[in-house]
Structure 1
Amino acid sequence: MTEHQLGKWDLSELAKDPKSPAFQKQIQELEKQSKKFEKIKSKLDPKIPSEKFMNILHQVEEISEKMSMIGGYASLSYSSDTQSDEATSLMTKMSKLGSEISNKILFFDLWWKTQVDDKNAKRLMKNAGEVTEYLSHKRLFAKYALSEPEERIINTLDVTGVSALVKLYDKITNAYEYKMKIGNKTKKMTREELTNYVRSTNSKVRETAYKTILTKYTENKGVIGEIYQNIVLNWRDEGIEIRGYKSPISMRNIGNDVDDKTIESLLSVCRKNSPVFQKFFIQKAKMLKMKKLRRYDLYAPAAANIKEKNYSYNNSVKLVFESLGKFSETLEEFARKVFNENHIDSSVRQGKRDGAFCSTLTPKITPYVLVNFTGKSRDVFTLAHELGHAVHSQAAQDRSILVQDAPLPLAETASTFSELLLYDNLSDKISDNEKKIMLSEKIDDLYATILRQSFFTIFEVDAHEQIGKGTTVDEISKTYLKNLKEQFGNSVNLSEDFAIEWSCIPHFYHTPFYCYAYSFGNLLALSLFQRYKKEGEDFVPSYIEILAAGGSKKPEKLLLEHGFDIRSPKFWQEGFDYVREQVRTLSSLN
């Protein structure tokens, strides 16, 4: 039997040694190929024969795969040791190379979106097979595209306009220094360090941590509020006034390849189901021996008085394999490949980046997974989550690199589903006390990834409308507080200082309307899991086919083929039925 041990990954499949002539040769070949590709520009014609068109697409795939391997090697080396000068310099060099290569092949993308008439586009897509949806999604943007000189002006002005505003927000907020009293000492901290204290077992510490963050943002609300208003106005002016999108959120939906109706349906179901989590908060107050939770206590560990079990790495890996294997041997095999090929970096060490991720570079190469394993039950779930991503990629490994990745709203399906399989498997093997900890943490996570994110999006819809009509920072804060009151009902005591919390959420500044993708992905996985519970083994082939589609089909179309109508509220409700069941189970354990 294999004994799984903590360690580093092996990147030699991507590149042997960045200093070697072989690596330089890889780069030279890529540059040569992209230069050769540039010559196609003069020969492009909407009447091009479809064989010739497919040949160009294959060249795009080849260039993308080669760039992905070289760039992937650099970014993975850097992730495993961010303190290495060598890795840092290689990362910078490869980012520059990546940008040069994509600029060289960009003309083809623009030509396809704006220069090819509908009749010829239809003809060329007829034989495009799995990349048909990819090509038609690209053409969706043509409707909102401007002339080349206009696009160039927008791109140029973005650098000193909206991108500069986002950078400014990051620069200002990342420079904040927080001081907090811990015992008798006052410590200087970053926001990252301070955020750890909102999960403290001590209620006073939780309150102080939140107040320290919120006070800093309140003191600076004039500047960061002004930045937000201008970002929103830029989004509206460019998107609605100049490009002609229907609404601010429509721009994001089209980018995600989902219909407005699907997202409206998702958000309305989330809104309607806030009482499900309100019940949990009342429950959690009892577990914490409090009359009522304050907003400061939302992420308090509910089982502080129960000793948490530690998991060995070897057992954790086997548990994840077993959970996937009970569902499908194929998925277990995919997960095992990551370990058999030593594509996992699991040990905690100085200089390695924190957190966890799964990186898929090309369909031909088994994905790479990074985790920082310390033996907590949360780490076992993180392992299941990242291996879920790896399983998703491998299920779609026969796809073109252009469509292997699922669109953003589907990207969390397999990762969340894998966590659900693990929880299902574990809950038969652990004591009630351990189950109480695990279940409480799990519902905490479901709140943070589903309800909180959907209410973030509901706030953004309101804020964008409000700012479009002209408003003040204080009025935006009032809208946010109203949003929180609806979310928590009477289950949580809400203090006024949380009105400014919206200005602490970088997603609102960086990527408007991004947050619903979390709600979408997690609820989708829960709804699919509910189906699995009803249908048993019959559900397995359907699930694997959904993963195998990658990004080759529009989410609505793909899921409808398997009997799931994501435009209908009924589908999303199934996910909430699962959450309700978990809250009920927790209640029976208390």
Structure 2
Amino acid sequence: MARTPRTAAARAGAWSLSELPGPREAAAEERRLRRAVAALGRSRRLLRPSITAAQVAGIVSRIEAIHDSLGRIHAHAALSHAADTRSEEASARLAAAERLAAQVSNGMLFFEQWWKVGLDARNARRILGGLGRLEGHFAHMRLMARHTLPEEQERIINIMEVTGTSALVRLYDRLTSAYEYRVGRRSMGREELSALVRSPRATVRRAAYRALLSRFAANRGTLADIYSSVASEWESVEVGLRSHASPISVRNMANNVDDRTVSALLRACEGGAPVFRRFFAAKARMLGLGKMRRYDLYAPVPGGRARNSYAEATGRVLGAMSSFSPEMASMARRVIESCHVDSEVRKGKRDGAFCSTVTPGLDPYVLMSFTGTVEDTFTLAHELGHAVHSVAASSQSILAQGAPLPLAETASTFSEALLHDSLMEGAPPARRRAMLSSRLDSLYATIMRQSFFTLFEQRAHKMVASGATAGEISAEYARGLRAQFGTSVEVSADFADEWVAIPHFYHAPFYCYAYSFGCLMALALSARRAEEGPAFAPTYMGILAAGGSEKPEDLMGRHGFDIGRASFWRGGMDYVARQARELERLR
């Protein structure tokens, strides 16, 4: 039975994809799409140095319409597959949608190639001035010229990606989503298992991690082969053919952030490891442990465990947003009430959580598996933060609506900060201590864990290029864990294979630093919120409304944040240190 706006907020359920073209409608939509691509191809004759800005704007308008149509077709297939990765029909439709996307991309490639490398700099500057809100987007495209290959080579790469790395990543999803884990007499999926790593009982936490790690370790060879293929493709195509300086530079260019900005971020995070080690030592004392073991990392401090119904969780998230900005809460409520949130626990459903933006004309879609934990409430806040960002930027072109990953993760973690501050208000001391410990758990998972993931990826890509085995990569991952925790946490040998259980390494190499970036950026925004109060809300919503129309350094620089300096990122780590000291005082 379809959910109504009232039940969508009251209980966990599946999303509605009725606003997207299903299998029947998609066939007609695809025919219209192919006609539009063919018509666009006839614009090739206009691409001369003397072309006017108005003529370019007309071509861009056609490209926007094509992206809109393709986005709707692909979204129905992709979201259906995420909802049930075991479905053969959904898998086949997603593969077909990705083939269509490659064909459409090739049909539009002539304009992209002309703009990047076929047009001289003087005329490009002349045309940029007439592109209005898309000036930043097309300026960024010009920067990618030196990494652009001849058109025929780009066509081949587009086609091969569908049957190469994309197919392998779908295989990874299908294999791992089917895994079931046994803890005691119970068999469960990964989302339910993840809740157990926060159990107050050490035996349950240890059993949960052993179930997870042993399942992935048993298939390490196959999963490592898939990873090696993904990493090799980045090395051979992006570094070898496109001449990017390094694999991570590919992600930085896509994120429209400078290499030096990301290097400054990672240095600050790596240098901040002692802050979290101090927290782990303090937490061990609170838990009555001599030393934290890796499976104790997310153990709850007594006084703060509570379960929420889905209605309570949505109410708390929307309430926290509303106290800062009623406009923000209204946008999030709209996404929930449009039945665009898939929150129920189901077998075969893709692990993890995400927010998917389709087109400016549609509210985004959110996937998570709500089990009732406090952490799930924060996950809901995180994903709805993404959704608010998408809605706020819906006045942008489809080509510039989506913010670069680091800024996207800023919006999500800022929403988590709002929820945390709201829950802390008026809480008794024991509750405050437990919540502050949980907050530091989250800051560790978002800042330190994700940045060390990225540092590992940098080493792992080099190792794959030099022919390293899965065992050697696991040994390197274990060395990274020891560097991260020092002597503050005891790490058992089975965690060496944890890397094959991290989906982001497969789906989006080097994505993870965006979480560290976003969290530290959100801490800076929260500090500004504390200084300015409600007056800061319009500024924040204005940052979100920019979407991907500006380079992050430029957008944040206009608001007084110099994100290219390591001192900026260290400021966020100083906040973490203050929170850790506050926790020790509450002990």
TM-score normalised by L of structure 2:
0.85
User: Structure 1 residue 400: deviation in Å?
Assistant: 0.7
> Of 553, 568, 573, which aligns to 2:570?
573
Q: What is the CA RMSD across the aligned residues, in angstroms?
A: 3.8
User: Structure 1 residue 224: deviation in Å?
Assistant: 6.2
User: Structure 1 residue 284: deviation in Å?
Assistant: 2.2
User: Structure 1 residue 523: deviation in Å?
Assistant: 1.6
| Correspondences of 1:290-301 after superposition (within 5 Å) | 290-301=289-300
> Of 66, 69, 81, which aligns to 1:63?
66
Q: Check the 8 A contact 1:34/1:63 in 2, yes or no.
A: yes
- Report the equivalent of 1:284: 283
Give yes or no for the alignment of 1:268 onto 2:273: no
User: Structure 1 residue 401: deviation in Å?
Assistant: 0.8
- Report the equivalent of 1:136: 139
For residue 355 of structure 2, give the secondary structure of its aligned residue in structure 1: strand
> Of 338, 355, 376, which aligns to 1:379?
376
Alignment-mate amino acid for residue 536 of structure 1? G
Give yes or no for the alignment of 1:490 onto 2:507: no
Residues 161 and 363 from structure 1, CA distance in 2 versus in 1: closer, same or farther, beyond 3 angstroms? closer
User: Structure 1 residue 542: deviation in Å?
Assistant: 2.3
1:441-479 per-position Cα deviation (integer Å, ceiling 9, x unaligned): 332222122101111222233344556667666654554
Residues 297 and 241 from structure 1, CA distance in 2 versus in 1: closer, same or farther, beyond 3 angstroms? same
Q: Check the 8 A contact 1:82/1:353 in 2, yes or no.
A: yes
For residue 327 of structure 2, give the secondary structure of its aligned residue in structure 1: helix
For residue 359 of structure 2, give the secondary structure of its aligned residue in structure 1: coil
For residue 10 of structure 2, give the secondary structure of its aligned residue in structure 1: coil
Alignment-mate amino acid for residue 297 of structure 1? D
User: Structure 1 residue 118: deviation in Å?
Assistant: 2.1
For residue 311 of structure 1, give the secondary structure of its aligned residue in structure 2: coil
- Which moved further from structure 2: 345-354 or 537-546? 345-354
Paired residue total: 581
| Correspondences of 1:139-538 after superposition (within 5 Å) | 139-152=142-155, 174=176, 182=184, 198-211=197-210, 214=213, 232=231, 235-303=234-302, 306=303, 308-339=305-336, 341-346=338-343, 355-465=352-462, 476-538=473-535
Provide the rounded CA distance (Å) in 1 between the counterparts of 2:419 and 2:150.
Answer: 51
Provide the rounded CA distance (Å) in 1 between the counterparts of 2:279 and 2:335.
Answer: 37
- Report the equivalent of 2:3: none
User: Structure 1 residue 291: deviation in Å?
Assistant: 0.8
User: Structure 1 residue 106: deviation in Å?
Assistant: 3.0
- Report the equivalent of 2:104: 101
User: Structure 1 residue 217: deviation in Å?
Assistant: 6.2
- Which moved further from structure 2: 207-216 or 39-48? 207-216
Provide the rounded CA distance (Å) in 2 between the counterparts of 1:18 and 1:233.
Answer: 35
For residue 411 of structure 1, give the secondary structure of its aligned residue in structure 2: helix
Residues 392 and 196 from structure 1, CA distance in 2 versus in 1: closer, same or farther, beyond 3 angstroms? closer
Give yes or no for the alignment of 1:110 onto 2:99: no
For residue 412 of structure 1, give the secondary structure of its aligned residue in structure 2: helix
Alignment-mate amino acid for residue 409 of structure 1? P
1:378-435 per-position Cα deviation (integer Å, ceiling 9, x unaligned): 3332332222122212221211111011011111122211111111112114344444
User: Structure 1 residue 498: deviation in Å?
Assistant: 3.5
For residue 558 of structure 1, give the secondary structure of its aligned residue in structure 2: helix
Residues 165 and 89 from structure 1, CA distance in 2 versus in 1: closer, same or farther, beyond 3 angstroms? closer
- Report the equivalent of 2:10: 5
Provide the rounded CA distance (Å) in 1 between the counterparts of 2:314 and 2:169.
Answer: 40
1:42-93 per-position Cα deviation (integer Å, ceiling 9, x unaligned): 4433432211111000111112223333443455566667788887776666
User: Structure 1 residue 180: deviation in Å?
Assistant: 6.0
User: Structure 1 residue 160: deviation in Å?
Assistant: 7.3
- Report the equivalent of 1:53: 56
Provide the rounded CA distance (Å) in 1 between the counterparts of 2:225 and 2:357.
Answer: 39
Provide the rounded CA distance (Å) in 1 between the counterparts of 2:171 and 2:15.
Answer: 36
Provide the rounded CA distance (Å) in 2 between the counterparts of 1:471 and 1:29.
Answer: 48
Residues 491 and 160 from structure 1, CA distance in 2 versus in 1: closer, same or farther, beyond 3 angstroms? same
Residues 260 and 188 from structure 1, CA distance in 2 versus in 1: closer, same or farther, beyond 3 angstroms? same
Q: Check the 8 A contact 1:377/1:438 in 2, yes or no.
A: no
Residues 12 and 518 from structure 1, CA distance in 2 versus in 1: closer, same or farther, beyond 3 angstroms? same
Provide the rounded CA distance (Å) in 1 between the counterparts of 2:92 and 2:425.
Answer: 49
Provide the rounded CA distance (Å) in 1 between the counterparts of 2:571 and 2:340.
Answer: 36
Provide the rounded CA distance (Å) in 2 between the counterparts of 1:343 and 1:84.
Answer: 20
Q: Kindly, what percent of the aligned residue pairs are identical? A: 46
Alignment-mate amino acid for residue 56 of structure 1? I
- Which moved further from structure 2: 554-563 or 192-201? 192-201
| Correspondences of 1:7-46 after superposition (within 5 Å) | 11-14=17-20, 19=24, 26-46=29-49
For residue 358 of structure 1, give the secondary structure of its aligned residue in structure 2: strand
Provide the rounded CA distance (Å) in 2 between the counterparts of 1:509 and 1:77.
Answer: 20
In structure 1, list runs of 5 or more residues that go unmatched.
Answer: none
Provide the rounded CA distance (Å) in 2 between the counterparts of 1:462 and 1:352.
Answer: 32
Provide the rounded CA distance (Å) in 1 between the counterparts of 2:491 and 2:10.
Answer: 46
1:115-170 per-position Cα deviation (integer Å, ceiling 9, x unaligned): 22222222221211121221122222220222234445555666777667767877
Q: Check the 8 A contact 1:530/1:574 in 2, yes or no.
A: no
Provide the rounded CA distance (Å) in 2 between the counterparts of 1:198 and 1:544.
Answer: 36
Q: Check the 8 A contact 1:412/1:521 in 2, yes or no.
A: yes
Provide the rounded CA distance (Å) in 1 between the counterparts of 2:348 and 2:455.
Answer: 39
Residues 150 and 88 from structure 1, CA distance in 2 versus in 1: closer, same or farther, beyond 3 angstroms? closer
Provide the rounded CA distance (Å) in 1 between the counterparts of 2:90 and 2:478.
Answer: 45
User: Structure 1 residue 314: deviation in Å?
Assistant: 3.9
Larger Rg: 1
Q: Check the 8 A contact 1:530/1:578 in 2, yes or no.
A: no
1:554-579 per-position Cα deviation (integer Å, ceiling 9, x unaligned): 11111101110100122212322332
In structure 2, list runs of 5 or more residues that go unmatched.
Answer: 1-5
